[in-house]
Structure 1
């Protein structure tokens, strides 16, 4: 028996890694999945999931740009990150024959994403949402009774920002996501590559910088809002809704609301995609197919409070989630929203410099 043990060990070591243990490496946003979905996928397939989280598109792109990231599934936002990865040849085309649940997706939403990925060859829609404001109206009105709660004027007009600064203003740390909304508020094209427009957006942000308490990650905004640290933030819709629920569960004060500004909210899509050099692309396609099941995506939406692109999932949603207009906006709100496209390389560099100056306050 003692002689057999070295032979068995040698045999195991000679087997391909996939035969010993199949591992799927996922890189997704923080707090952005239903843990039960991962447990059930592992139990059903025998594939072990290693799950890492990022908190900004800049972090995701930095990891992918270095090459050989080691990830099998990533979740970039359609613009500009996903579109940029598609153009760079950094993503593996999906084999739809191995993703039969592909057809569960809403065709109209897929058409929206096709501008980022012609033919929808490289990604399936995971979740989507808008960028707007998380507000505590009672605190704001105590400092500025006439402040507008339906407009980005509340935060981006220096006179208003100065009045409410005492109760806390925060902006998520992502120029990729915030700058288009500032351009829209200025009455300019959110997709403008014009240097003068970029400077105008930068100046608008610098004008309110003295009144902004924090420029922090999406995940940090959720926790801070739930704890009542800020009265006005610019961030993702789902982060604010998650904060509402965390505050309620903790028995903290109510009153936190999400507002899609009247100027129009940016509409975005997060995509399930496979890096071109993924170590385990077959497991990645199984995972994407699994995630596109209606009951699985309903579980994710129930957990993280972002809408998904699977119409059949609606019957599996909790009633309060399905009826929440901040999760599933009504048609008139969607009609006011806008999508963005990837800026030119020069505009992207200018935006990055502008954002750095905004964060530094100079």
Structure 2
């Protein structure tokens, strides 16, 4: 069940930036992914109060606690927290007709999923990326209209969102990991079109040519400044990179978020309240959170609680996966690595090196 909240606030965020998805910058991707919408909304913290009073109504909320009830993993025994971040992709609307092959897909899907673990002390953090093609057991869930959907095995992870909704994604993650999800944040990639156009485009560095008929993306190696439509194709592409699986797209999406923040940071938003409002308006229209984060006040407090996290110690870990023995186009959680990874998150301890290796990618 979605609702709109109204609670004005002003605050500020300090983005980290970069272009290439190098190992060090991928570690920074955690803060970008976790805070990208927060930063965009709060970047113009010195602007007029009335601007932000308007923006609260843009943020949509999902009551995860009510939907899931009491049958959930225990909360962390420490002050640590776990946040599920989804990058959803709605293919509806005129903007998708401009994307060639990408416009033929309807509905919304969760193309990116991160379980962000913020440990006690807020000094270090880790984000576990779940590939969209991972086969999972979807638990019994209740849709927003009250319909009960029975449990099902061998369901592709991103189908849970489109078939049942965000609360069931949270329940699926909790069941597969044993990790209690404290907060939920969803970013609609389709909303980036207006955001990118509002800031005048985003520059990305392409190391190898990308030619993907499905998304309509055709880029030579080198530097490119993407408009909103091209940016949508960039975050959606998969067939023109690597082995054509979702594993390659994960890196491109992190790279795009870094480049987006780089562009915003380079602009004098504090000196242009009108432009700041236009960007923040686009950003908040793309955001859905749990009830606990569904206001600028709550988002600001959450961002401030992250101030102690050192970006140099943060890392993004892909859930260890192996190619499915029945369908090589799908992957499954690799054991014992995946179990060891989730155990470290549950116990608020360091992730062992052995749990960071994924057979499907060679390590």
Q: TM-score range by the shorter chain?
A: under 0.3
Normalized against structure 1, the TM-score is what? 0.25
CA radius of gyration, larger in: 1
Q: Which has more strand, going by share of residues?
A: 2
